Structure 1
């Protein structure tokens, strides 16, 4: 099989080959246009010497160029590797070295020393070639982890994996269909955005509105309004900005508002539900799994949780010794399923596992199977020998009406004593506000044990985040008093 063959056959059987697949700035591609274009790009790649199994790095923004280049690589039997084009030059060179591509597809004028570079235009102007046969367990693409703890890691997925993700997630949780109009704030160079904007819509016959620019609240709301978007995807912090905007009433026409990528705090969930109601659906996933493995759905949802496991995936919570715990006991989250990839070996082959995989999350599962994530193992701070889960403190501070988001970390004083410090982004108002700082410390004292209370609040204009919206806590830990 080849994933492109499966996608086109599904579109043909579903009767949506001639229906719109992608729109951007007034331009439109049908589903048939997508596969015809992929064939041309595949011809260009083969002509450039790309062989089955070679990696092709895509340093492209969301747009037709990305879609056709990605599917063209798959069509040719190569492995597409999406790369964030907005990375700093040093970081970009680092991830390209890690990917070791046979060819890099970039925008006009793009150059990367030490790598063969071409453009979409050069590939698209060639004659199409037949689809290269591949096995279901051959690699089709590879994405980088978000880099929340440092250097991103390359994780491949196989030709059969997007089909599994669609059946496990997009069908039961999202219920996507040919009448849906999709917009993903998360970009296609991340695993989350890639499925939202490419695999799921193509497998469901949906129409996707793409935005090549960095996402801005005004732009997203304008897209939702202009194109009558029915399915929106974004991380929780971006939804927070959306509902704070005067034009947030435009979100009421959504059918679903899906969110993932980070833990949805109770305070933010309550604010979002006021605007979105039961259309708000959240879950969790990892790059290693390839997509969400737990999710709330319209028929099965529970506030304060990330939903229940999506078959065929299973989850369990274990203690520090690896033994399963009782319901509602916090421990280490593990997932098991058919698409889990740990990376690549020295020969570039995918390292798959069918065993339990530790996600690095702290969580609990209730008697009904709903998963409640309480933080990350690598987020834990040590204060006077006592472990503190900063997410609990951050969620409490973020419940204040004047706080947009917060990050809490341990800071060593001049006498080597360690205390917690809160870095807070205000919803509005001046950066310096001693009164609000005291209010937040008082709020923490009222609800938390003493060692969890931040001793100082520092107001900052923003928090460092990855391109997918996750907090870069390791950067916050380097901030000086």
Structure 2
């Protein structure tokens, strides 16, 4: 089909009667009609600047109308919008832009220094020109490319087709989220991540609802204010940030949401229990990847099971396999695989998407029960070697995090053998020594001896990606580099 994602979105808004309704607020208010008018002008500016179909355009922009107009403007002319986190360290930022190999970079003023001497044009803010209609490039060509989060090492670039957001919405945005023009959504994850891009760009434009955008990194105070001021009905976040919201004096405000969606990392049982007490089955826990583009399993109001990330969302399928790649039966642990029409493993040498219609490993350890509900226990590469014994750290971390004075916890193997626990503690009268004693006693009571940490080190924060995922490979370097001295 010779179509264009932007044309499909605009036609859908016209048919749904929501062109006149607000699409975005918070970091600038615009209607759906203004979104497409702005994209057409930016498309004209990009074309006048020499950008051609198939070229990649890097977006170094915060969440806001400029991000939306440049993303859609690039797709309008058949170019490939490539968001990059503008808050990366300058060295990481430059490396990400080099990986993207763009024809043009659109950035904030603050990013110019990091890109000094870069061999392609760099513009501050969106270019504007005569409006351009969406080019019928076809739904089976790349419209955007996303960088993997780098939780396990160097990021990779994953291009996705014009048709892919339509699949995301048919799988998740429509049947699970049930978004309508009356909904107001807010995402803690920003639009340069796959999770945030769906939450704040694709789903609002495909459903006619409005999204509240915030250019600044999320804080509990700001998110709770946004919920109140804008009447947010659906919140998207990661478990770590939900824990911070619940620790806030006004954390009970979450109970007024129609839906609270969580993804991005394993949801600790103790945190899930507290959220369910407020939300019941309105807490939707799911899993997605940059390679898939969005969620491929999720709990839903019509199909919900505690402790799981729900069931596969058609047209996606999931299975669990053993070390040899053979499917296993219900409740047998193994490695999770996904199959579906949007899976992109990365880029080929010629820059084209490396799409696959076969089974693809997600990197997660999981079980699937007889009803199809998926329970994720951690990442396959999270396994720690303790004296020759393989230890999955998530269960230990969840036990530590169940203590009311623990905000976050991670464990990793020591070079001398045994486990070392790094803990971010909350406020309380208990001393570090007393808290350590309580934590280790709980572990000795509940865990096999080799899983009990030898000691606890208190740190101010854990290293996370911009989307909130733990950078476990960084934690593993702390012991040797001395970066994890006690607070």
Report the TM-score range of the alignment, normalised by the length of the smaller protein.
over 0.9
Output the CA distance in 1 between the equivalents of 2:87 and 2:468: 14
For the residue of structure 1 that corresponds to 2:159, the secondary structure is: strand
Q: Secondary structure, in 3 states, of the residue corresponding to 1:140?
A: strand
Cross-structure match for 2:471? 472
What residue in structure 2 maps to residue 271 of structure 1? 274
| Other-structure match for 2:59 | 58
CA contact (8 A) 1:431 1:460 kept: no
Separation of aligned partners in 1, 2:231 and 2:46: 36
**Are residues 1:49 and 2:50 paired?**
yes
CA distance in 2: counterparts of 1:255 and 1:150, whole angstroms? 36
Q: For 2:452 and 2:418, how far apart are their aligned partners in 1?
A: 9
Residue of 367, 378, 381 corresponding to 1:378: 381
SS in 2 for 1:405: strand
Aligned partner of residue 358 in structure 1, secondary structure = strand
Alignment-derived partner of residue 352 in structure 1:
355
Shift of 1:471: 0.4
Query: Which residue number in structure 2 is paired with residue 16 of structure 1?
Result: 18
Partner of 2:108: 107
The Cα of 1:474 is off from its aligned counterpart by 0.5
**Secondary structure of 2:414's partner?**
strand
- In structure 2, how many angstroms separate the alpha carbons of the residues matched to 1:322 and 1:151? 25
Identify the residue that residue 193 of structure 2 maps to in structure 1: 190
Deviation at 1:149, TM superposition (A): 1.1
Compared with structure 1, are the counterparts of its residues 59 and 430 closer, same or farther at alpha carbon in structure 2 (3 Å cutoff)?
A: farther
1:67 matched residue in structure 2: 68
Deviations 1:430-466 (A, max 9, x none): 8961111111111111111111111111111111100
Shift in Å, 1:403: 1.0
Question: What does 1:247-262 align with in structure 2 at a 5 Å threshold?
Answer: 247-262=250-265
The 3-state SS of whatever aligns with 1:174 is coil
Partner Cα separation in structure 2 for residue 430 and residue 7 of structure 1: 54
Q: Contact 2:291/2:345 (CA < 8 Å) preserved in 1? A: yes
After TM superposition, the score normalised by the length of structure 1 is 0.97
TM-score when scaled to structure 2? 0.96
Partner of 2:203: 200
Q: How has the CA–CA distance of structure 1 residues 443 and 106 changed in structure 2, closer, same or farther, with 3 Å as cutoff? A: same
Q: Deviations over 1:231-289 (max 9, x none)?
A: 10000110111111111232232110001000101111001112222221110011000
Where does residue 443 of structure 2 map in the other structure?
A: 444
Distance 2:415 2:7 in 1: 57
Q: Is the 8 A contact 2:139 2:162 kept in 1?
A: yes
Give the paired residue count. Answer: 474
Deviation at 1:150, TM superposition (A): 1.6
Query: SS at the partner of 1:326?
Result: coil
Q: What's the CA shift string for 1:311-339, capped at 9, x where partnerless? A: 01111111111111111111010111110
Deviations 1:145-172 (A, max 9, x none): 1110121111110000000000001111
In the other structure, the counterpart of 2:158 is: 155
Instruction: For residue 86 of structure 1, give the secondary structure of its aligned residue in structure 2.
Output: coil
| Distance in 2 separating the partners of 1:135 and 1:238 | 39
Equivalent residues of 2:106, 2:122 under 8 A apart: yes
Aligned pairs for 1:332-351 (under 5 A) are 332-351=335-354
1:286-365 counterparts in 2 under 5 A? 286-365=289-368
Q: Counterpart of 1:220?
A: 223
Runs of 5+ unmatched residues, structure 2: 483-487
